[in-house]
Every structure is written in C-alpha cells, then in structure tokens.
Amino acid sequence: MKVKKITADSMQEAMNKVRQEFGNDAVILNSKAIYTGGFLGLFKTKKIEVVAGIDELPEPPSEAALPDVTQLEDAGDSYREDVYEIKKMLSRFQTQMSSSMHHYPPLIQEELTRFKELDFEENWLLEQGNYIFGIWKENGKYEDLHSHSLAFIKNKLNGLDFKGIDPDRKYINVIGPTGVGKTTTIAKMAAKLVVEKKKKVAFITTDTYRIGAIEQLKTYAQLLNVPLEVVYNRSDFEQAVLKFHNYDHIFIDTAGRNYKEKQYVDDLKEVLDFTMNIQSFLVLSMTAKRGDMQAIVDQFNDIDINQFIFTKQDETTTPGAVIQVMAQNKKGTAYITTGQAVPEDITGASVESFINLLEESGKH
C-alpha cells in the first residue's frame, strides 16, 4: 500500500488532494484536526490532516511491509516519526476493516469506536452509525458528529419513565438477583422517604433463604425506627399487609435468586400478590453483561416491572449495556446507586444523568 499524509485547510480540500494524488480508489486511513503556527500558544490555525493510501498489491500489506523504524539510522527524525505513526494507523485501519463498520467514513468510525469502548454492541453501533451518517450526508460537517451521537441516544430514552417512587403506590416491590445490593438500595430509598418526606414506612421481607439478609434489613429497620415483618408464604404476606394498612409505603424485600431460572420467578409469584397497588423495581448491577441482564428481564414478562434500578455505578466505566437494556425493553430507571453509604449513595435517574455518565466514562 502506498501511503501519504496530506494537510489542507478543510476536509473538502483534503479529499480533493487525495483524489489528485491517488484517484478514486484511495482509502482514508485516518483524519484529524491539527493546529499550526501561532505565537505563545495563541492565534493557531486549524488544519485537517488526512492519511490516505492506495493498494498496490491484491492484499493490504502488514506492518512488516513498512520499514522498521529502528533500522532507519540515516533517516531524519521527522521521517522516522511519520513512518511510526503510519504503521500505527495501518494497524488501526486493518482492525476497522475487519468490522462491519468499515463502510463509514473514518471520522464516523472513530466516533463509533468511542461508543464501542463503552460496551455498546454492534447492532446498536450500526444503527447509530446510519443515523449520524445520514445527517453528515445532508450537511457535510464532521464537527457535530458527537452531539448527533448523543442525540441518537436521547431519542432512544426519551418517553421512558424516570420518575422514581410513585407517591400513590403503597407497596414498593424490589426484585433483583443475588449480589446486586438490593437490601441496601431499599434502605436508601426508605431513608429518603422517612427523613426528607416524613413518610410512615414499613418493611416486609420474603428473603428467608439467607439469615444475613434478614439481619441486615433488621439493622436498617432499627436505624430508621420502622417495623419489619418476615413472611414465608402468601398467608404471612397477607397478614403483614393487614398489619401495615395505615402506613404510607411498605417496602418489600425479596430473595436474591438466579432469576434467569423461571422457577424462582414462579416462587416469587406464589408469595406476593401482584394485583395490589404495587410498584415493582428490578435491581440490576451496572457491572453485569447486557445479555445476562436481558435474560433476567425476559423471565419477568408476565410481571409488570415498572422501572429499573441500577447499582454499582462506581464500579464500572462502561455504561453502554444499561442504556441498551432500557431502550430494548422500553423501561426507564428510577435510581442509580454509587456506593454503600445509606442514604447518600443514591440518586434519581434521568435521560440527562445517563448522557452525563456516558461523557464522564468516555474520559477514562
């Protein structure tokens, strides 16, 4: 492959130079904005730098086809740096060409790569790529690609419910697999209602599988000065409901089970009465894989899960999976938790909070 670096005042001028140099069969390996000239860091001029190439062989050359930088003893520093950079770009280009995203212009590929690193899957990236590519074809501007990417995600999330606890719902049912921090999340939500809104709150737990879970909830109940009932079956549950009939909100802590197994979902339905004035939250960890989260969601098809709660935001820098889960299931998120502290480490979710989370994660 014959490769050349071209600098121009605009992308259009750079593309014209590429065509003049290599013809219409040229391939853009990389493009970026650079700043030249100026004085003391001021008054710099923006340029567009493009690395383009054209195949001279049936197959693209490997990195070995380029000179070894360490062997260029007689070459100048600038030439050695250019060869080294071109080798890196060739490697990136060959990686991109193995992806189904290779048909997009390089800057769009670069934009999609940012989101791939945030754990968005290929089908999502192709749809996002088509969206921003369509806009680019209309206006020919690369400067706004990232804002259009964020607009695409906002469109996916707009209209979903991000309101949190409904003040008109008496029963707050919290479901989630083992290890997601469900009981601590209940304590955080309850503490905010008790302390900030002066609500009368009670706890019911169906988690009789782990003694530690009951003791943990008992500790929170004592700290908040709220009553707790442990139930083992539907009859116990109905008695607890009668006992707490004059409370504003009753939080129901369910057993943490492997809810990818339908049996455990059926066990849950045998104890709880989902026909009541109940609001159900499915708690999932942000550290989980999208496929694992979706497998759990699928098991609750015949139960009305109102919203998600995502925990362990502080333990991940790849939030793409949770955004895909929300979009795929058309369900919003009530809260995001960011640590173990009760009640501090919980925040209400919104479309903007997830956009901000993407931006912050992209900086790592």
How many angstroms separate the CA atoms of 340 and 293, rounded? 22
Residues 6 or more apart in contact with residue 323 via CB below 8 angstroms: 120, 153, 156, 157, 354, 358
Q: Indicate whether this model's pTM tops 0.85.
A: no
Residue with tokens 């997830």: 354
DSSP string covering 279-315, please? EEEEEEETTS-HHHHHHHHHHTTTS---EEEEE-GGG
Residues 6 or more apart in contact with residue 359 via CB below 8 angstroms: none
- Are 180 and 285 contacting, i.e. CB atoms less than 8 angstroms apart? yes
At 8 the three-state DSSP class reads strand
Per-residue pLDDT of the chain (364 residues; tens, 9 = 90+): 678 888 888 777 877 888 788 876 667 667 777 877 665 555 567 788 878 777 654 444 454 555 554 555 555 565 566 666 666 665 555 444 445 677 788 888 888 998 999 999 999 999 999 998 888 887 766 668 889 999 999 999 999 999 899 999 999 999 988 888 899 999 999 999 999 999 999 999 988 766 666 888 899 999 999 999 999 899 999 999 999 999 999 999 987 777 777 777 888 888 888 888 899 999 999 999 999 999 989 988 878 899 999 999 998 888 999 999 999 999 999 999 988 888 888 999 999 999 999 998 866 5
How many angstroms separate the CA atoms of 359 and 118, rounded? 10
DSSP string covering 17-67, please? HHHHHH-TT-EEEEEEEEEE--BTTBS-EEEEEEEEEE-SSSS---GGGSP
Q: Going from the N-terminus, what domains does the chain have, and what CATH number goes with each?
A: 1-98 (no CATH), 171-349 (3.40.50.300)
How many angstroms separate the CA atoms of 12 and 125, rounded? 26
